[in-house]
Amino acid sequence: MQGIPAEKTKILIISDSIGETAEQVAKAALSQFNLQEYDIRRHSFVSEIGQIDDILEEAMAKDTIIMFTLVIEEVKKYLVAETEKRNILSIDLMSSIMEVLEKRFGTKPIGEAGMIRKLDEEYFRKIEAIEFAVKYDDGKDPRGLKKADIVLIGISRTSKTPLSMYLAHRNIKVANVPLVPEVKPPKELYEVSSQKIIGLTTDPYKLIEIRKERIKALGLKDGANYASIQRIIEELEYADEIMRKLSCPVIDVSARAVEESASIILEICREIGYNVGKLK
């Protein structure tokens, strides 16, 4: 085994993202050499040549090793050239992996910094939207209406919850409110912009069949008022009155799949210029 270096080794981690992975790789490799003392310093979000110059100012050739994960070709080439010029050891932690993957997939890497971070952010936005849809489903807490990107309103069995969850998977925060003649809508519904409210309606005869199936699933009697044509028409008329008061757009979901209804909702938002955030 080689002797331990007399001077404390300095490891500079340079990354166009956070650099946490590069630091862990460095520590794993260094652990194989029985080094008792070394100093790791991480430089994150490096995407410009000027940043490289600043970092190299603190590097001393004889006691510094640079390990980097850079995908921006111009910045990477500059770092390699400068470390060679200054006789500083530099190790590209990405190049061999990228070369193998390039050969395997037959395509060039996109060369965009921070892609893992962006993917993580996208994932957490989706989780947040799903949790929001669950929390503010079926009018559970009207305070969520002001926080929502889109508010869905409609009578029972008009796909409010499936649409809320589908849109949540597109990173959109959706709250929904059931409209029932015997229950006054929450005051918060009248305090949000009509641009983000979408009314859902349906064909009464299609709804009878849907509600009958729901009654069976609940183990109730067929003659329940919930599935009667008189009750359904009463509910639809009440909902129509509320939607007209709110001046919100209305879509008929009776013959549409959830995906199709969601697409129409988003198109309505685009047409009126309402920005629903991260949706593309």
Q: Is 157 annotated as a binding residue?
A: yes
Annotated ligand binding at 155? The verdict is: yes
Coil, strand or helix at 8: coil
- Residue 159, marked binder: yes
SS3 125: helix
- 114 or 42: which leads in pLDDT: 42
Residue 91 marked in a binding site: no
Helix spans in 136-174 (H): 160-168
- 160: annotated binding-site residue? yes
**Mean pLDDT score of the chain, rounded to an integer?**
85
Say if residue 139 carries a ligand binding annotation: no
Token pair in block for residue 38: 């070394």
Is 158 part of any known ligand binding site? yes
pLDDT, position 62: 64
Q: How far apart are CA 217 and CA 209, in angstroms?
A: 13
- Encoding tokens for residue 6? 């007399």
Give domain limits for the chain: 9-119, 121-272
Please check if 211 is assigned to a binding site: no
pTM of the model: 0.60
In tens, the pLDDT along 157-181 reads: 999 999 999 999 888 999 999 999 9
| CATH fold match for the domains 9-119 and 121-272 | yes
| pLDDT band at residue 4 under the 50/70/90 scheme | very low
Q: What is the CATH code of the structural domain delimited by 9-119?
A: 3.40.50
CB 23 within 8 A of CB 77: no
Choices 3.30.70, 3.40.50, 2.40.128, 1.10.3470: CATH for 121-272: 3.40.50
Q: Report pLDDT digits (tens) over 183-237.
A: 999 999 999 999 999 999 999 999 999 998 888 887 776 667 888 999 999 999 9
